[in-house]
Amino acid sequence: MAKQRKNPRPRAEPPKGFRDYFGNDVTDRADMLAAIARVYRLYGFDALESPSVETARALGSFLPDVDRPNAGIFAWRDEEDTGREDWLALRYDLTAPLARVYAQHRNTLPTPYRRYAMGPVWRNEKPGPGRYRQFYQCDADTVGAASIAADAEICMMLADALEAVGIARGDYVVRVGDRRVLNGVLEKAGLLDPENPAQFEHERGVVLRAIDKLDRLGVEGVRALLGEGRRDESGDFTPGAMLDMPQAERIMEFVRAPTRTGQTLDHLHSLVAGTEAGEHAVRELEQLAALLTARGYDDRIRIDPGIVRGLGYYTGPVFEAELTFETLDEAGRPRRFGAVAGGGRYDDLVKRFTGQTVPATGVSIGVDRLLAALREKGRIGAGATGPVVVTVMDRDRMAAYQAMAAELRAAGIRAEVCLSNPKSFGGQLKYADRRNAPVVIIEGEDEAARGVVQVKDMIEGARIARDASLEQWKSRPAQQEVARADLVAHVTGILAGNRQ
Amino acid sequence: MAKQRKNPRPRAEPPKGFRDYFGNDVTDRADMLAAIARVYRLYGFDALESPSVETARALGSFLPDVDRPNAGIFAWRDEEDTGREDWLALRYDLTAPLARVYAQHRNTLPTPYRRYAMGPVWRNEKPGPGRYRQFYQCDADTVGAASIAADAEICMMLADALEAVGIARGDYVVRVGDRRVLNGVLEKAGLLDPENPAQFEHERGVVLRAIDKLDRLGVEGVRALLGEGRRDESGDFTPGAMLDMPQAERIMEFVRAPTRTGQTLDHLHSLVAGTEAGEHAVRELEQLAALLTARGYDDRIRIDPGIVRGLGYYTGPVFEAELTFETLDEAGRPRRFGAVAGGGRYDDLVKRFTGQTVPATGVSIGVDRLLAALREKGRIGAGATGPVVVTVMDRDRMAAYQAMAAELRAAGIRAEVCLSNPKSFGGQLKYADRRNAPVVIIEGEDEAARGVVQVKDMIEGARIARDASLEQWKSRPAQQEVARADLVAHVTGILAGNRQ
């Protein structure tokens, strides 16, 4: 046995930025993920579970916020490996591990490889309210297909998945932009030379991040970031890309492209005319739009050039799903849920391992935010009740109480024997109350002798039960004496009534 | 965007001792865990998901093998916390985090608190064949109930869970021992003074580990470890507990107690007579045996004093579920699956945080081993097929192919459009083959004009299809031309036939 050093007591807390999930918070999420997985599987996507731990080198660093220790990841040195890959790290997303898996198994995996994955990811970020260092992602990706049909499929599948979990059509929109169109605009503005892409790289990064903040900062905020920079309400100053007026105006025109898909595409055409990459990208967006229209998805998936996404590895079309309904925040102000999923094409991630470009596209659903939205909409969590509680009046009859619980379970009803102190009936009722028990079963010596049990409907009697004595309690109308043989049928009836 | 340093390519491999799980390996496990969770929930257990990361101090070190760096856990320093709890670690089991959670939330959680948890755990151990550093556990525990009825419930629920996933009654046995009975034996052998338990602590540790190896080393091996020590086949010597002959004989008598429960208990009574803790423990085992008999579980759960378990924190009854059927190993030798679950009572884990003893008992299922057993028994994984593949003969008709796949999905059939190179029909068939597709749909220009599709039954034609040309292929009897409108009905019929 391991020896414990005589230390002061450890604190009973998770580390900063981590939290526990109890009961329905766990099962609601599992149910939602199962519903999404059913959609992904119907589309032919196969499950993949890679380990939580990868070599830090395999993960690379693509997180947008890199001014943090370990570049935003949890990493440590592995004593098992003294070679060059000896730092281990917790995965920060599910895409980087997919690139590693595909590079490793590309000769045995089908091409294209459609896979889905769901599980926790970890970010070594400063924790804040509602901002955790471990959270769930749920991804679907197609690796090895260069066709824009693969991107269209991902977007349509995303729409289907949102509806499968309970987001109604009309309550969400999937927006599709394209990094290459932006590149065309930048090329025409003199900020991107296809022969020398390293030039103006810094400025393009600032432009990309500025556009990504359109939702939050508005048109004027973005314009400021394209020029000299922007001072926020707190007085902090963010330096801008220092573009001249005509350059900034071109980019603003791109960002504010009309939102009817047909008009948008015409407008984008004119913005990138003469740039090879830009024209090709707009043609592909046209094909994508045509597929969406043919399949009847154009009401809920639309082209929006303002979508550029923050992550560094995207190379083509990028997507974002936004919930469009409003809810009220704690202060009663209307609030939008915003983005619940994002993704895009990242043709160079596998290349890091193999040296060869492998086309890839995919989407990641923000599980916790989507779950919060479903809760807000009342789609889940309504009327969740606990198990039936069988009280223990006589410790020597434990087997008889366990038999009652077992019979209820055999009928598909959650049931448990109360294992708190049998001498305190009030304590057992408090326990049943805390368990949110819909029904409590009581069988004392007297009942046992007469072959009956007391069945208490807790939904009706919840409030008064807390302080009542056993005698008062027995006289309540919500309690009924039934033959022991009728126990299961009677409880089934009560539960069916409660569900109505 | 993050800048990438110009490094050599990372290796496309997971870290040593970690692995990927593909397709059915993921979904079979998820299905098995869902079946176990249904049983746990029926027993009134609530889900809990604590984070993968805890402070190292909260986890403590209770792993049996402590001669490793970081005592067998993955740990690193947290930059967010410069206080005394600043080392973070990946959880090595689900029990230590439960103790932390209960200590933290004990005023709001019901008492007793019945919870289940499932998920990966991590061990910083030397990887070996079939030995991974990340694996799944699936636990159920009752915290706050001192009654032996809680232990009995855990054992019965474990039996129900094994049967729910497909282990037939008769193919497993749950064995129950008790650390306190062993303590009684040790007390009578002069190796444990209740007033001074620290004395002989080392010897007791050696005895415990020796008994835990009974399965592997046999009676003579254990006897050697109780005495001077044991040299294994490789020549390695393990020092023994250096007990004298009468002491060792007492312990061997305990280990070899008869296996019929009634006789076992009588025998144990005589072995611990006169020791307070030992007699109390045997009385509790009698109560447990009586509950099992009354509930009809005595055919599959039985008392076995040889069960002591390796983990340091157990304080009373301990359980182990063993699969009793034999399978053949790679060399054709009969092999037993052995233990697939273990657990017991650990009354002191919460005390580490609060200073107060809180009774607790629970069980952990070794998910990967149980899954392997189910596979071996043919309970899962038989006849798993891939999705229906819709081939692409004409890239301009992509929307039409996507519509076919969508119609099949609406009927609950997995279906995908082939996105490999449309110019290579052979390549598309190879793809369908690799996907294990039961059916392939083909619609060329000619078929489209006539309003028909070719439907190929791949289960029948799998072998020949690989090398056939399109023309040869069309003439095969396993292929049929059907009206486009009848596509879904026809495919449904083929799949129903395959399932018979």
Partner-chain contact A80 B17, CB within 8 Å: yes
Q: Residue B64: its pLDDT value, please?
A: 52
Q: Residue B451: its pLDDT value, please?
A: 96
Partner-chain contact A399 B205, CB within 8 Å: no
Report in angstroms the alpha-carbon separations of A444 from A78, A374, A390, A398, A482.
Answer: 60, 44, 11, 11, 13
**Would you state the torsion angle of the CA atoms of residues B280, B281, B284, B288, taken in this order, to the nearest 10 degrees?**
-170
> What is the sign, positive or negative, of the torsion defined by CA atoms of A153, A154, A156, A157?
positive
Q: Is B127 on the interface with A (CB under 8 A)?
A: yes
Q: Residue A64: its pLDDT value, please?
A: 52
Interfacial A residues in 462-491 facing B (CB < 8 Å)? none
Residue that is last in its domain, among B346, B376, B406 = B376
How far does B138 lie from chain A, in Å, by closest CA? 14
Distance (Å, rounded) from C-alpha A43 to C-alpha A159? Answer: 12
Residue B298 lies in a domain: yes
Residue A11 lies in a domain: no
Please name the residue of chain B whose CA is at the shortest distance from the CA of residue A119.
B119
One domain, residues B370 and B405: no
Please name the residues in contact with A249: beta carbons below 8 A apart, sequence gap of 6 or more. Answer: none
How far does B284 lie from chain A, in Å, by closest CA? 13
Residue that is last in its domain, among B376, B404, B432 = B376
One domain, residues B33 and B137: yes
Distance (Å, rounded) from C-alpha B490 to C-alpha B494? Answer: 6
Q: Is A19 on the interface with B (CB under 8 A)?
A: yes
Tell me which DSSP letter residue A131 carries: B
The residue among B46, B115, B207 with the most chain A CBs within 10 A of its CB, best to mutate, is B46
One domain, residues A57 and A192: yes
Distance (Å, rounded) from C-alpha A203 to C-alpha A185? Answer: 14
What the block records as the tokens of A89 is: 């790290």
The domain that contains B173 carries what CATH number? Answer: 3.30.930.10
Give pLDDT < 70 ranges for chain B: 1-7, 61-71, 80-85, 257-262, 310-312, 381-384, 460-470, 472-477, 498-500
Q: Which helix (H) or strand (E) holds A120?
A: strand A113-122
Distance (Å, rounded) from C-alpha B442 to C-alpha A207? Answer: 46
Q: Residue B338: its pLDDT value, please?
A: 81
One domain, residues B170 and B297: yes
Q: Which domain holds residue A494?
A: 388-499
Residue B477: cis peptide before it, omega within 30 degrees of 0: no
The residue among B48, B357, B398 with the most chain A CBs within 10 A of its CB, best to mutate, is B398
Q: Is B129 on the interface with A (CB under 8 A)?
A: no
Please name the residue of chain A whose CA is at the shortest distance from the CA of residue B290.
A399
How far does A473 lie from chain B, in Å, by closest CA? 22
Higher pLDDT, A217 or A171: A171
Can you tell me the mean pLDDT for A91-95? 94
Q: Is B431 on the interface with A (CB under 8 A)?
A: yes
Residue B201 lies in a domain: no
Alpha-carbon Rg of chain B, whole angstroms? Answer: 29
Q: Is A15 on the interface with B (CB under 8 A)?
A: yes
How far does B281 lie from chain A, in Å, by closest CA? 18
Q: Which of A43, A105, A295 sits opposite B403 (nearest CB)?
A: A295
One domain, residues A449 and A358: no
Can you tell me the mean pLDDT for A253-257? 80
Residue A476 lies in a domain: yes
- Domain tally for chain B? 2
Residue B15 lies in a domain: no
In degrees and rounded to multiples of 5, residue B33 shows phi and psi of -65, -35
Q: Is A396 on the interface with B (CB under 8 A)?
A: no
Can you tell me the mean pLDDT for A330-348? 86
Partner-chain contact B22 A415, CB within 8 Å: no
Distance (Å, rounded) from C-alpha A458 to C-alpha A447? Answer: 20
Tell me which DSSP letter residue A10 carries: P
One domain, residues B43 and B114: yes
Please name the residues in contact with B436: beta carbons below 8 A apart, sequence gap of 6 or more. Answer: B384, B385, B386
Query: Do residues B94 and B139 make contact, with C-beta atoms less than 8 angstroms apart?
Result: yes
Residue B223 lies in a domain: no
Distance (Å, rounded) from C-alpha B47 to C-alpha B51? Answer: 13
Higher pLDDT, A62 or A274: A274
Distance (Å, rounded) from C-alpha A245 to C-alpha A257? Answer: 18
Q: Residue B63: its pLDDT value, please?
A: 57
Q: Which of A104, A291, A419 sits opposite B145 (nearest CB)?
A: A419
Q: Which helix (H) or strand (E) holds A337?
A: strand A334-345
Residue that is last in its domain, among A349, A376, A403 = A376
Q: Is A81 on the interface with B (CB under 8 A)?
A: yes
Give the HSE-up count for residue A277: Cα atoms under 13 Å, Cβ half-sphere: 19
With contacts defined as CB-CB under 8 Å, which chain A residues touch B352?
A: 9-10
Q: Is B357 on the interface with A (CB under 8 A)?
A: no
Q: Is B413 on the interface with A (CB under 8 A)?
A: yes
Residue B335 lies in a domain: yes
How far does A480 lie from chain B, in Å, by closest CA? 23
- With a cut of 80, say whether residue A415 has pLDDT above it: yes
One domain, residues A282 and A331: yes
Please name the residue of chain B whose CA is at the shortest distance from the CA of residue A430.
B110
Partner-chain contact A147 B353, CB within 8 Å: no
With contacts defined as CB-CB under 8 Å, which chain A residues touch B291?
A: 398-399, 402
The residue among B13, B291, B401, B436 with the most chain A CBs within 10 A of its CB, best to mutate, is B13
One domain, residues A121 and A198: yes
Partner-chain contact A2 B71, CB within 8 Å: yes
Vertex B83 angle, CA B77 and B88, to 5°: 30
Partner-chain contact A110 B435, CB within 8 Å: yes
With contacts defined as CB-CB under 8 Å, which chain A residues touch B4?
A: 60-61
Partner-chain contact B290 A399, CB within 8 Å: yes
The domain that contains A445 carries what CATH number? Answer: 3.40.50.800
Can you tell me the mean pLDDT for A411-419? 94
With contacts defined as CB-CB under 8 Å, which chain B residues touch A381?
A: none
Q: Residue A137: its pLDDT value, please?
A: 95
Distance (Å, rounded) from C-alpha B229 to C-alpha B210? Answer: 10
Q: Which of A58, A61, A294 sits opposite B2 (nearest CB)?
A: A61
Residue A1: pLDDT band (50, 70, 90) is very low
Burial category of A98 from C-beta neighbours within 10 Å (exposed 0-12, middle 13-18, buried 19 and up): buried
Q: Is B15 on the interface with A (CB under 8 A)?
A: yes
Q: Residue B2: its pLDDT value, please?
A: 45
Interfacial B residues in 262-321 facing A (CB < 8 Å)? 290-291, 294-295, 312
Q: pTM score, two decimals? A: 0.88
Q: Highest mean pLDDT range out of A66-75, A196-205, A336-345, A482-491?
A: A482-491
Partner-chain contact B58 A100, CB within 8 Å: no
ipTM for this model: 0.87
CA nearest A389: which of A424, A422, A435, A426?
Answer: A435
In degrees and rounded to multiples of 5, residue B447 shows phi and psi of -65, -45
One domain, residues A481 and A340: no
With contacts defined as CB-CB under 8 Å, which chain A residues touch B44?
A: 386-387, 389, 405, 414-416, 435
Residue A464: pLDDT band (50, 70, 90) is low
How far does B104 lie from chain A, in Å, by closest CA? 5
With contacts defined as CB-CB under 8 Å, which chain B residues touch A124?
A: 79
Query: Do residues A362 and A95 make contact, with C-beta atoms less than 8 angstroms apart?
Result: yes
pLDDT tens per residue across span A153-175 = 999 999 999 999 999 999 999 99
Query: Do residues B264 and B257 make contact, with C-beta atoms less than 8 angstroms apart?
Result: yes
One domain, residues B125 and B145: yes
With contacts defined as CB-CB under 8 Å, which chain B residues touch A134?
A: 51-53
Rounded to 10 deg, the angle between the A24-42 and A367-376 helix axes is 110
Partner-chain contact A64 B294, CB within 8 Å: no
Q: Which of A42, A57, A58 sits opposite B414 (nearest CB)?
A: A42
Q: Which of A11, A74, A114 sits opposite B85 (nearest CB)?
A: A11
Partner-chain contact B44 A415, CB within 8 Å: yes
One domain, residues A182 and A136: yes
Q: How many residues are present in chain B?
A: 500
Please name the residues in contact with A130: beta carbons below 8 A apart, sequence gap of 6 or more. Answer: none
Distance (Å, rounded) from C-alpha B289 to C-alpha A164? Answer: 48
Q: Which of A48, A62, A103 sits opposite B26 (nearest CB)?
A: A48
Q: Is B415 on the interface with A (CB under 8 A)?
A: yes
Residue A475: pLDDT band (50, 70, 90) is low
What the block records as the tokens of B89 is: 């670690």
Q: Which helix (H) or strand (E) holds B498?
A: helix B487-499
Partner-chain contact B417 A41, CB within 8 Å: no
Q: Residue B197: its pLDDT value, please?
A: 80
CA nearest B153: which of A294, A148, A37, A405?
Answer: A405
The residue among A4, A16, A28, A42 with the most chain B CBs within 10 A of its CB, best to mutate, is A42
Q: Which of A13, A42, A112 sits opposite B104 (nearest CB)?
A: A13
CA nearest B125: which of B60, B59, B70, B53?
Answer: B70
One domain, residues B186 and B102: yes
pLDDT tens per residue across span A398-408 = 999 999 999 99
- With a cut of 90, say whether residue A314 has pLDDT above it: no
- With a cut of 60, say whether residue A465 has pLDDT above it: no
Higher pLDDT, A20 or A383: A20
Residue B491 lies in a domain: yes
